[in-house]
Amino acid sequence: MNILITGGCGFLGARLARTLLAGGPLALAGGAAQPISRVTLADRVAPPADLQADARVQFVPGDLYEQAANGTLPLADTHAVFHLAAAVSGECEADFDLGMRSNLDTTRALLDACRRAGHAPVFVFSSSVAVFGDSPEQRLPAVIEDTTLPTPQNSYGIQKFIGEQLVADFTRKGFVQGRNVRLMTVSVRPGRPNAAASSFLSGMLREPLAGERARCPVAPETAVALASPGNTVAGIVRAATASAAEWGARTAVNLPALTTTVREMADALERIAGKDATGLIDWEPDAAIAKIVTSWPSRIHAARAEALGLKADASFDAILRDYVRENPQAVKLPVAAKD
């Protein structure tokens, strides 16, 4: 079995690649399990050293739109495509053309390339909870269901929702076996901050644990819907393995979310790393970021995902302890032992 991951050298793409390579045979779309022969990582940056060292990993560097349009992606013998590459929310608001090219034009070009390949690969599209947005003209319900009408309030959300519809129609036509999954905000992300409006939901924990100051641009009572990196990747993989009958409608599946508040996240940090950690958080409001983040829903009823065996993270303390365990080199402050 051959797999393509776009954005495959980024945080989620690399974690997905490691999960697939370590997981043994994979059963795509309810079919028979087959061993993974090749994982192609398409990205602008090189893979981490451990993935470079795996003989099953192939790296295709370059611009994804150009790769999809000129036929340089190895789609003729690829059985599953995980399309994770995207410009993030803050980038899309700052640069409209970048967002349209990266998130809309590139998704269309990749789907067209899959169509030309002629064998309907499984196509997992990473959409976002940002397809839902609250506005005075159209209020969101208190709880988001799988059938809730998307009402994006920023360019990123619009582009992701259009991508969902393209995947659904290419699936209807038999060009791909599409699986649209709406990812929640992923926390805690290792590494450095990115341009996403939600980046602080990792930075306000990651940087203090490393002994560095961090800025929180929203009010402490701001409610958010989060998922750990591990839970997010589990949802992406399950989307690929679900049979058509298990998956059901061509519309997107909301992945499960833990509802918490920014204050509760800071409280978890203090329980685990003490007041020295929370003392490094600068509570400095940013109206532009707050407008985006507070328009997103915080309560998700993920019935379809739950029917696939997926569950939300148990607590934010558990998410934060997983980050500490998985990234010991990034934690400089003393951490309390688990009770």
Where helices occur in the chain by DSSP H, the ranges are 11-22, 49-52, 64-70, 89-94, 96-99, 106-117, 155-172, 200-209, 229-241, 244-247, 262-273, 275-278, 287-295, 303-307, 316-326
Instruction: Look up residue 30 and give its DSSP letter.
Output: G
Residue 147 makes CB contacts below 8 A (sequence gap 6+) with none
What does the alpha-carbon distance between residue 194 and residue 113 come to, in Å, rounded to a whole number?
29
Q: What is the pTM of this model?
A: 0.95
The DSSP result for 306-335, as a single string, is HHTT----S-HHHHHHHHHHH-GGG--S--
Looking at residue 339, its pLDDT comes to: 62
Give the whole-angstrom CA distance, residue 110 versus residue 116: 10
In the residue annotation, 156 being an active-site residue is answered as yes
Domains and CATH numbers, the chain: 2-184+228-254 (3.40.50.720)
Do the beta carbons of residue 284 and residue 216 sit within 8 Å?
yes
The per-residue pLDDT for 206 is 97
Walk along the chain (339 residues) and give the pLDDT tens digit of each residue. Answer: 999 999 999 999 999 999 999 999 999 999 999 999 999 999 999 999 999 999 999 999 999 999 999 999 999 999 999 999 999 888 999 999 999 999 999 999 999 999 999 999 999 999 999 999 999 999 999 999 999 999 999 999 999 999 999 999 999 999 999 999 999 999 999 988 887 889 999 999 999 999 999 999 999 999 999 999 999 999 999 999 999 999 999 999 999 999 999 999 999 999 999 999 999 999 999 999 999 899 999 999 999 999 999 999 999 999 999 999 999 999 999 998 876
Strands 177-183 and 122-128: parallel
Considering 156, 161, 170, 323, which one is annotated as catalytic? 156
Model confidence pLDDT, tens digit, residues 189-210 = 998 888 788 999 999 999 999 9
pLDDT, position 193: 81
Residue type (1 letter), 26: L
Whole-angstrom distance, CA of residue 29 vs CA of residue 178 = 10
Geometric angle at alpha carbon 174, from 172 and 179, rounded to 5°: 65
- The position carrying tokens 């269901």 is 145
**Using CA atoms in the order 102, 256, 230, 27, what is the torsion angle rounded to 10 degrees?**
-80
